[in-house]
Structure 1
Amino acid sequence: MRHIVILNRVPSSLGEFTTSHRRQIVDALLAIAILCFTVPTTLMGLTFSLWGPIPDWIEIIIEVITVGSLLIRRRTALPMIIASVACGVATGQIVPMAFAAYSMTAENKVRHWQLVSIPLIAAATAIDYVDPGTDNFLYLCLVRALTLIYLPALVGTWVRGYRGMILELRAGMRERERQAARMERRKIARELHDTVTHAVTVMVLNAGIIHDSADPKVDRLATTIEDKGIEALGELRDLLRVLRREDEPRTAAAARNIPGLVKEAATTGTQINLDYGLPDVGLPNQVGHACYRVVQEGLSNVRKHALGSRVQVSCQARDGVVTVSVVNSRGGGRAGMSLHRLLPRSGFGLAGLEERITLLSGQLERGPTPDGGFMLRARIPFDLGSARPRGESADEVAGGEKQ
């Protein structure tokens, strides 16, 4: 098939990583960095302990425990604080204490972080004071300890405030978007009520006037027009409710209404072959309604552009994916063209169908067939666990019968 347009919402490689995944990656890299900083120092004999010499294997165990506590710093800060102090006392390395001070404020896991900073500063001062590689001036050791402990903790508070501000801005933006969408829906509802509903009502009334015609054929056509007009009015009322309340319409057609839709289209002279294999129970309502709209749009386009052609409608569900297709052969020529000229062309049918399928994470294919016909196919993933049998709701059953 040629010139097939495919619309598929595929997340990018960066978009698939959630915030939690990115945080786990950052914590893992940070743990590896600290491990590479502490263990080689121990192996080269550059460490010291406040309690005198201790075996290297004990130091390495303490350092590994400290790195492991860093991986859970976002859930609780106490293990990392204790482990970093123990690591500093046993090995003389106070870098893990600086990360512990930052984490306890950035993740907001310690309420009174100023009080917790005092023993950390005291431990860092003592370690720096007895370090054989530094001076023995106590005030300089205290200044360095304040710089390495209090400053990271203070930076953590700034980071926490910045994150909170970003979350508030995003929440406010989403709320403004919801309000704008709500106002737009109400505007559309008013326009539908003032224009479309009025026009359909006039059509129904006119069909009722010619209902009792002496010509049986005219009478049947008038009855069909009247029934369809009444059905359209019901759907418009439900649509107005949806636009105002953001609910699903009760009369939303399900996949089980597809055979009736095909039978109705066959009465107009279209040769249709239906291959229906969708489950009656377990298919999510939105997915079933989307399948119905695909078949409805496909048959509508056949009536407009290829009246008299042969049509193959297929509906199958395999491996968690529903595939619905409407394929027609070359049109019947003059009849199709005359109907095409008679009916107004909106151009919104396939565009709206693409949007509906995309919202369900599906894909829509459309394009000409080798024999000169046209193909419309939709693939929609679904989850049986999230579906509810439509028979459980009396309102939904009533809505399905109306269709």
Structure 2
Amino acid sequence: MDAKGAPTAGGDFRLLWWTRRRSVALDAGLAVVSAVECAVQGVGFADRTGLPVGLVVVPGALAGLALLVRRRWPLAVILISIAVLPANMGAVLALVGLYTLATTDAPRRVIAALACMEGLGTVIVTYLLLDNDPAIREQAVPVWFRPLVALLFGVASVVPPVLLGMYVRARRRLVETLRDRALGLERELGLLAERAEERAEWARDEERRRIAREMHDVVAHRVSLMVVHAAAVQAVAPKDPEKAARNASLIGDMGRQALTELRTMLGVLRAAPAGPTGASDASRASRLAEIASGAGQGEAAEARTPDEGRQPPGPAGNGEGPRLTGLRALVEESRAAGMRVELAVEGEHRDYPEQVESTAYRVVQEALTNVHKHAAGAAAWVRLAHRDGEVAVQVRNEAPDGAARRPDEARLPSGGNGLVGMRERVTALGGGFVSGPTDEGGFRVSAVIPDRPGERAGG
């Protein structure tokens, strides 16, 4: 409601300094009671002093109506009650005024000073009334009786309203503090929810990138070799049908293996979650890593020519990750595709954690795939170094010979994510990755991986 009591558009009540209808009714009722009390006491004061009744009752009633402004000016209400105290008026006015002042944020010394003034005035007025009462004079009462009664009246008129008002003020402050704390907690929960959503979004993006890397490792290398062998079949078919038939058979084996791995991976992605989302994502990521890891050694076995003989898959074929011991088979696979590639190993082989060997293997695999794509016909060199506390791999190729590529030779598409994926794998283990062209016009990929990535990251 507005200042005139009309309803507002929002439905909130507002009348002067009142914000609730029951507050208006309470203050109006207290003001009427106080006005009646002052008027009745004014009649007795007029009889005792001989003053005209109207001259005392009307100002007293107006003073009692001062409770209408107690919420806005509680100090004025107490001062009025002190002013009418000599006429033995304003008991309700003083009680309600002191209580209201004690509930506000007024300084305690101000409340104490006004309470003392009110209490002292009540003691004096009560003592004078008792001393001038003929009925009490006729009785034999001790000397201390009248001062004691006056003191009790003074304390009773001041202490209860002040203590009650201070209690209400403390309770209001506590409620406001709890409300502010609740609002603060609500804001913090909102921020935490936003951060949790950001972390979840980051986790989803990271999971998508990880899945993309795993699918790239599983499929891209094998399909690239299939394209190379298909080009070789096309080139040698008129001259050497037997060799073309062997290459065609090899392409079929590679295609079936790649299709099987792709179906398995898509099955993992489509699987319904059996538990919490975090556990499902972790299990899917673990399964995808296992599938990608198992592709390495299987590729080498499938890519061998019939003249070399089929060998059973290595450890990776049993579900373990690709190992550095499979680099020779990986190099032989590239040689079978027509690449001139040499492998050099320095230092003594040690047992590394599976993720270290798998990452080093993937770097070499992806680097050789890039040579097939971008430098067909160029010679390549693979170097593996076992060092103290780390393992290093390097793949370097010479400048591609443009004349070596036939116009009808198939060109391999490139998504541009191979180097990014290698860098992400190596840096995730705390290693270093460098790639770029060489001075001779070729390309070099180098990676150094700590042999204990967990301890190195923790240090």
TM-score of the superposition, structure 2-length normalised?
A: 0.40
Query: Which has more radius of gyration?
Result: 2
TM-score of the superposition, structure 1-length normalised?
A: 0.45
